[in-house]
Structure 1
């Protein structure tokens, strides 16, 4: 199998940062430090779609891509897309969900007023990022289908919530999200929309 999905961890920081900055405009991409925070405090909510080294990428993503463990992957495999999330106590994603405390490294187990809430009931999906050369070929949808299935089977949360641009509302609705209208979020000065599954 040329493609597989696995949980990300801090060892994937550099390549996740590359995918994120390639997929989003600078003001909207998560910073390297935000990605580091999320891959450190809640890696179980972060997954990547990989292409095995030396394998040719299919022109379109297959319907089902297996989730494997890290020991069945290689460090030289190519990350082509990722989903990075945290837990939230809010139903729709709010600005405080996207933030993190500047003191987070001093106590990795602490719960701060912003960022990841381990006892939350909502998966706040911060980033579905696909490397530009793999966009519009179904790779993001394939990753999201596998992510939804995995999180539902685990009973990880009551819902998955996301903010998106108005132009991407139809895309996320096609994945099973329900549109709840314009968001109160003002992150990066963009007009966001709330969606939940």
Structure 2
């Protein structure tokens, strides 16, 4: 039967053999405990680092198996783009054939594909784009340049994606669709075939796209709409969450995201690359800029619209 220690008249004293610490040992014990906790934390951190390293290697191995490469899309990739779109998006969110035809015709320089060379002896049951792929430059006819991921976009004069920017115009002065003089790139389709997701291919494709658009100087910003649960992926790529979108496409409920193309923006504003703008460290440069909710950007000295 347990003893009620509160009824004991004499204090409980630890025996010499007891492993219960004496009061005078508290400081030493606390130090040992802290050292043990620190060891445990470092051990856990090392375990987590090794786990992340293994996951990173697994993703890299998955990419290396495909030998992926990127190249600009054209109208000749139309059928592959449609097959990929159908495999990624639900019916109400898919780009229609006529819009693909329009976008690949008026703005092919804004469309980028991620390809892998595949052969007919591979398991292609989860690769619906293979049958529409073009032969690779090889003596083997079954080797084809197979589309596994894509970015499709047009330009607009608005600061973000609108329903009008997603439409196909009926005429040259319709006001909808692609605006060649616009300084905002609107991404309409971005995705990787489900069978190849989880290998880091989306990040590879998107970073390549951002780099190309940044160096081309054809726009000041890239805009897109996303479901709320996916916004974290884009903010990790430098996009700003601008809140709920007014776009009604696909039933609405979208979030607006915008990423400034810093080099292009600096050139368009004719700013001197001094003080705040340090061309040797664009990451720091980007963080130094203050983006405000009212659509202004400040370098600490002057403010501009973005």
Asked whether the two chains share a fold, i.e. TM above 0.5, the reply is: yes
1:169 aligns with 2:231: yes
1:151 alignment partner, one of 199, 210, 213: 213
1:125 alignment partner, one of 187, 190, 193: 187
Task: Could you list the structure 1 runs, at least 4 aligned residues long, displaced by more than 4 angstroms after superposition.
Answer: 72-75
Shift of 1:111: 4.6
1:84 alignment partner, one of 152, 157, 166: 152
Q: Is the 8 A contact 2:82 2:100 kept in 1?
A: yes
Q: Is the 8 A contact 2:118 2:146 kept in 1?
A: yes
Shift of 1:89: 0.5
1:116 alignment partner, one of 154, 157, 178: 178
Match of 1:60 in 2: none
Q: Is the 8 A contact 1:111 1:117 kept in 2?
A: no
Q: Which protein has the larger Cα radius of gyration, Structure 1 or Structure 2?
A: 2
Match of 1:34 in 2: 99
Moved more, 110-119 or 27-36: 110-119
Whole-angstrom CA distance in 2 between matches of 1:195 and 1:73: 39
Structure with greater helix share of residues:
2
**SS of residue paired to 1:27:** helix
CA displacement 1:20-72 (0-9 Å, x = unmatched): 1111000001111111110011100001000013498xxxxxxxxxxxxx9x8
**SS of residue paired to 1:77:** strand
**SS of residue paired to 1:176:** coil
CA displacement 1:102-134 (0-9 Å, x = unmatched): 45xxxxxx3531000000000001110211111
Match of 1:63 in 2: none
Match of 1:53 in 2: 118
**SS of residue paired to 1:120:** coil
Structure with greater strand share of residues:
1
TM-score normalised to structure 2 length: 0.55
Q: Is the 8 A contact 1:87 1:124 kept in 2?
A: yes
What is the number of residues matched between the two proteins? 177
1:8 aligns with 2:62: no
Q: Is the 8 A contact 2:240 2:257 kept in 1?
A: yes
Whole-angstrom CA distance in 2 between matches of 1:139 and 1:45: 19
Whole-angstrom CA distance in 2 between matches of 1:73 and 1:124: 33
- The one of the two structures with greater contact order (alpha-carbon pairs below 8 A, sep at least 6) is 1
Whole-angstrom CA distance in 1 between matches of 2:175 and 2:108: 20
Ranges in structure 1 where 5+ consecutive residues have no aligned partner: 57-69, 104-109
Match of 1:67 in 2: none
TM-score normalised to structure 1 length: 0.84
Match of 1:64 in 2: none
